């Protein structure tokens, strides 16, 4: 806890009012500022010590309200900082700068995650889509992964057609997610490929990605009007 005395003021108590800009080269006369530790104000005026300082009280009041305003501002900022401390995973004790850096990472990570999740499975769109991307997030182990999805009208042999096409590629199906809405279907595939000396290059990975894209496009382009699944799961209005 800070132990300073918040009621002590550093006062500019000369009679020049607020016009004096000490600290800059404009002040050439022997002005001096006196800091009073207690209740009385000690004045050391440069030359005219006898002049009536009528605006002294005004200056004191202005300075006081100023410092109080600044104090409130700091309190507001620190309150927000404290709230952020509670929102980031780390410990309670954290540098202000480190905390902000942590918040930045958190926001970036969350944004990436939500963006990913929103296109992950969402509802199917009205237009046919095929997308394939290399997942770089877990570039550790002996394999790498692709995330792909297609969006098209549902037809009964869509799934088996898709499997057929993917079987000819050197990838394994790790996970699949299906979402349907009003006769349309969106299927997300998580595909993994073993990393070895033959394919551990950017070119090889991009080749596989484009192969996946081509295979899936092939499936999507085979249009069909069948809506068997949607008939089962999404009957007409009751």
Partner DNA sequence: AATCACACGTGACTC
Partner DNA sequence: TGAGTCACGTGTGAT
Residues in the chain: 238
For DNA, the binding residues in 20-39 under the rule CB under 7 A are 20-24, 33
Phi-psi region of 234 (alpha: psi -120 to 50; beta: other; left: phi over 0): beta
If residue 34 lies in a helix (H) or strand (E), which one and from where to where? none
Cα 144 to Cα 222: distance, rounded to the nearest angstrom: 29
CB 155 within 8 A of CB 128: no
Binding residue (CB under 8 A) for a second copy from 18, 61, 123, 139? 123
Tell me, by CB under 8 A, how many residues bind a second copy.
Answer: 65
69 belongs to the binding site for a second copy (CB under 8 A): no
Q: How many CB atoms lie within 10 A of CB 5?
A: 7
DSSP count for the chain of H helices, then E strands: 5, 4
Report the residue number, 34 or 53, with the smaller CB distance to a second copy: 34
97 belongs to the binding site for a second copy (CB under 8 A): yes
Considering the complex, what minimum distance in angstroms separates the CB of residue 86 from DNA? 15
Residues that bind a second copy (CB under 8 A): 4-5, 8, 10, 22-25, 27-28, 30-35, 37-38, 42, 44, 73, 76-77, 80-81, 83-84, 87, 96-97, 100-101, 103-104, 106-108, 110-111, 113-114, 117-118, 120-121, 123, 159-160, 163, 167, 172-173, 175-181, 232-235, 237-238
């Amino acid at each position: 806890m800070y132990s300073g005395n918040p009621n002590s003021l550093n006062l500019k108590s000369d009679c020049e009012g607020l016009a004096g800009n000490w600290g800059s080269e404009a002040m050439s006369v022997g002005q001096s500022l006196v800091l009073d530790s207690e209740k009385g104000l000690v004045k050391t005026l440069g030359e005219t010590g006898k002049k009536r300082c009528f605006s002294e009280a005004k200056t004191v009041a202005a300075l006081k309200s100023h410092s109080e305003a600044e104090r409130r501002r700091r309190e507001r900022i620190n309150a927000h900082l404290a709230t952020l401390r509670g929102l980031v995973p780390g410990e309670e004790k954290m540098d202000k700068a480190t905390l902000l850096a942590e918040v930045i990472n958190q926001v970036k990570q969350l944004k990436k995650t939500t963006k990913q999740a929103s296109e992950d499975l969402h509802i199917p769109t009205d237009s046919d889509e095929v997308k394939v991307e290399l997942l770089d997030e877990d570039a550790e182990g002996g394999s790498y992964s692709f995330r792909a999805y297609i969006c098209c009208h549902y037809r009964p042999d869509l799934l088996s057609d898709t499997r057929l096409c993917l079987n000819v590629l050197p990838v394994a199906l790790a996970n699949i997610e299906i979402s349907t809405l009003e006769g349309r279907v969106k299927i997300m595939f998580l595909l993994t490929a073993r990393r070895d000396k033959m394919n551990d290059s950017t070119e090889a990975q991009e080749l596989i990605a484009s192969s996946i894209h081509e295979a899936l496009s092939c499936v999507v382009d085979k249009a069909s009007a069948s809506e068997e699944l949607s008939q089962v799961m999404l009957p007409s209005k009751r």
